[in-house]
Amino acid sequence: MEEIIERLSLIKIPKKYSKRIEIDLRRARIKVLPEIYISFVFTISLISFIISYVIFLIFYIFSRNLLFLIFPPIISIIILTFLYFYPKLKALDIRRDIEHNIVYATIYLSAIFTGGIPPVTIFRILSRKKEFGEISNEAREVLKNSELLGISFVDALKKQAEETSSKRFSEILSGIASSISTGGDTAGYLRDMAMSLINEERNLWRERIDKLSIFLEIYITMLIIGPIFIGITSSLLSGIAITPGFNPLAMIQLLVYIIMPIVNIIFLVLIHTMFPTPS
């Protein structure tokens, strides 16, 4: 296995893709070099191709159906694609969690900074607050960079500001670092940021509610009124025999068992994308 990974690590990919993977790995907190991860992706894809090829070759020997030989490359490509985009998907999930908790965490930080507690102690407290989700992990990364790598706390904040997947949290970390280094009013800065974030969240939720009302009207039209109209129309067409061979029962079954579930899934995905899930 190590020899395979070493050979595949010799594969050269364009620098822009390598840099993109490196950024995604950092934001997803996957502590692996991009070359090693790319080698891992190709190795797993190759192994999956070999295993699936052996399995489907057995099926082909017994059935003589050439379709079985199409599945191995398809499975390998699916696994390759998933592993390639996995860091980006994980980073996106982390960003959504940070964006969901950022308002509450900023208010919490502004309150603690008002008490004159040292910034390192504040971030140590924040790292233990599991109710803030990924923001606690971000604070833990700041402490790790400061304590284990031996860099200053301000530099640790700047480093995490570059690696975090959330632009808004990156701005907050950069602002805290700048305020600490210049001796500014960190508590006041965080208070202003908290008010700004609250206004942004208020406007964002207002837009989401407006979009949800539109989705609700479309949902009622497509999945409540629409099926009733189609059912009545199908029955009438079948009764007056305008369309020979027309089967209204098959049409209704297609609508109920295939079309409606697919449309419901699409609506659920859209709503889940619009509204962040509480952590």
- Digit-coded pLDDT (tens) for 119-169: 899 999 999 988 888 999 999 999 998 888 778 899 999 999 988 988 999
Count of residues making up the chain: 279
Residue 227 parent element (H or E)? helix 226-240
Please name the residues in contact with 135: beta carbons below 8 A apart, sequence gap of 6 or more.
Answer: 97, 98, 101, 102, 105, 126, 169
pLDDT for 249 equals 67
**What residue type is 225 in one-letter code?**
I
pLDDT for 171 equals 92
pLDDT for 279 equals 45
Grade residue 174 by pLDDT with cuts at 50, 70 and 90.
Answer: very high
Give the whole-angstrom CA distance, residue 264 versus residue 270: 10
Structure tokens at 69: 């030989």
pLDDT for 5 equals 47
- Measured in whole angstroms, the distance separating CA 79 from the mean position of its chain's CA atoms is 18
pLDDT for 15 equals 64
Short-list 161, 126, 133, 165, CA closest to 145? 161
pLDDT for 59 equals 80
- Mean residue pLDDT of the chain comes to 81
Number of other CB atoms surrounding residue 138 within 10 Å: 27
pLDDT for 157 equals 92
What does the pLDDT look like over 205-251, one tens digit per residue? Answer: 888 788 888 878 887 877 777 777 777 776 666 655 555 555 666 66
SS3 101: helix
Do the beta carbons of residue 134 and residue 94 sit within 8 Å? yes
CA 115, 119, 120, 122 torsion: positive or negative?
positive
pTM: 0.69
Do the beta carbons of residue 132 and residue 101 sit within 8 Å? yes
Give the whole-angstrom CA distance, residue 92 versus residue 90: 5
Angle CA 39–93–32, to nearest 5? 25
Alpha helices, DSSP H only, in 32-166?
34-63, 71-114, 119-127, 134-147, 153-163
